[in-house]
Structure formats: structure tokens, C-alpha cells
Amino acid sequence: MRIIRTIAEVRAAVRDARNQDRTVGLVPTMGAFHAGHLSLMREARANNDLVVVSLFVNPTQFGANEDLSSYPRDEERDAGLAEQSGVDILFAPEPAEIYPDGFATTIHISGITDVLDGASRGAHHFDGVATVVAKLFGIVAPDVAYFGQKDAQQVLVVRRLVRDLNLDVRIEACPIVREADGLAMSSRNVYLDADARAQATALNRALDAAQTLAETGERDADALTAAARTVLTAAGITPEYLELRDAETLQPVTRLDGEGLLAVAARVGAARLIDNHILRSADRRGDA
């Protein structure tokens, strides 16, 4: 595996692969790899000739009071895990390489960025995500890019980016990888002490409660979210948001017809965590 720091070098490596008619897969990350990241790398490895993983803690998607300075970083460990997963290139640029002096362009996607994490964290968050992803697509020019379904809203934002700008890349969303107790894998889980770690399992249990209720035939959005909220309240968690939205448009829904995205964000101990389930109405379970 090669560790590459500059745009010129990674473009040259991709160009060489293209000249040999090799396909290119990209896994965009901010590092602090866990099993979820590694599953994306393995998926990319299984389906592409050249696998590029970007490792870049993107400053533009963090707000003034968020955890940019403390975000977990361990490039040596990450590089070892990436190599073990069959990655060919770890693209690990410095911020000035991605955002040179005078950088003045931001991509804003309306609508789907205005709710959930967009409303909770602010418009800057998805502006930063869309801008850096567009840059990575322009730099690497992948055939396929891999994202985790845990960041469900981010996946939808990236799909809209690709559609609206006619970018020639296919987006693959891979399933959430969970700990044995159901907690969704996250780089921010390292912030959790033992008590908060146990408390955090309530997020997935809350979503499970709503899913179980949906499987009985309940379709009322308020009833489904209430079932989830009861579990969170019992665990002492007050969510930043807990909402059932259309799984494609993120429009609010009052009734589960077909599929809906039940998404939650909450601060647990020192960590802000997110999770989601795709709920299916009882008559659609066989379509899963």
C-alpha cells in the first residue's frame, strides 16, 4: 500500500490504473478506522482493481463548538488496518492541499440538508461534506464510492450531489456495522466511558422498539416515534432529534407507507451519536 499526500500523485496513480483499463473504488473517510470502515474497504476490494481510501479530517464540516481539535487521529494505526484490508492507496493530504490559500468555493444542497443533522448541526455541516466529497470525486475520479448507511442523510446528500452535477460515479451504501450489543460502530465511540457506553446501547434498542411495533401493523408516525422515545427516556437520554422521514426525500411523514427512515441523534456522555433504521410497513416486509 502506498501513502500519498498530494493531489498530483494520487491523480497520476489513478491515471496509470485507467491506462490499464482498471476500475477504481474510493472509500472517503476521516480516519479512526473501525469495523464499519473496514467493511467498506473490503467491499471496494472485492469489486475494484484499484482501491483508494482517503483519510482526511475535513475541517469545513465541523462547527465552532464541535470536536475538530479532539477528533481521534492515529494515522499509523489506520494505515496498518487499511493495508490489511487490501487497500492500494491511502490518500492522506494536509488541509492546505485540499483547501489552499484563497479557497472560496462551497457547494450547498438545498432541501435534504435542512433537516435532521442539517438542522441540528447547522448548514455548514453538509456544505462541508458536499464540498469535500465533490473535491475527492474530482481528484480520484472513482467508478464507485462507498459510504456507510449509519450516516443515512449523508448518503442521500451525496447521491443528490452526484445527480445534480452529473458526476460519473456510482454510490454504494453499505449496511451499518454494529457491536455485539447493537451499538453502531463510530469513531466517536472512543469518547464513551463505561457508563456512557452502556447507556448508548439505548439508541439501537429504541429504534428496534419502533421497528417491532411497525411489524405488528402500526403505521402512525407519532406512535412509532413514541415507542422509541420511551426507551430513550428510560435510559436517561434526551435526543437532539428522533424523527420518521421519507427514506428518499427526508420529507416528514405522518404515516408509514412503504419505507421510512427513523433517525436519532443524541449526546451520550462526551459523544454525540447518530443511528437509524429503515422501517417498513407490515405489508412491505417481504420486499426487504
Closest CA to 26 of 93, 104, 89: 89
As a whole number of angstroms, the distance between CA 209 and CA 235 comes to 14
Per-residue model confidence as pLDDT tens digits over 147-203:
999 999 999 999 999 999 999 999 999 999 999 999 999 999 999 999 999 999 999
Q: What is the DSSP letter of 177?
A: P
Per-residue model confidence as pLDDT tens digits over 112-150:
999 999 999 998 999 999 999 999 999 999 999 999 999
Q: What is the mean pLDDT of the chain?
A: 96
pLDDT on residue 285: 55
As a whole number of angstroms, the distance between CA 235 and CA 256 comes to 26
Q: Average pLDDT for residues 215-233, to the nearest whole number?
A: 97
CA angle in degrees (0–180, nearest 5) for 177-134-274: 30
| Options 37, 108, 124, 277, the catalytic residue | 37
Q: State what percent of residues in the chain have pLDDT above 90.
A: 95
Phi then psi dihedrals of residue 228, to 5 deg: -70, -40
pLDDT on residue 282: 78
Phi then psi dihedrals of residue 265, to 5 deg: -135, 140
Q: Is 125 a catalytic residue?
A: no
Closest CA to 130 of 113, 152, 111, 149: 113
Per-residue model confidence as pLDDT tens digits over 226-274:
999 999 999 999 999 999 999 999 999 999 999 999 999 999 999 999 9
Closest CA to 152 of 261, 226, 75, 51: 261
pTM of the model: 0.95
227 neighbors 210 (Cβ within 8 angstroms): yes
pLDDT on residue 284: 59
Listed in sequence order, the residues at least 6 apart from 63 whose beta carbon sits closer than 8 Å to its beta carbon are 121, 122, 124, 125
pLDDT on residue 157: 98
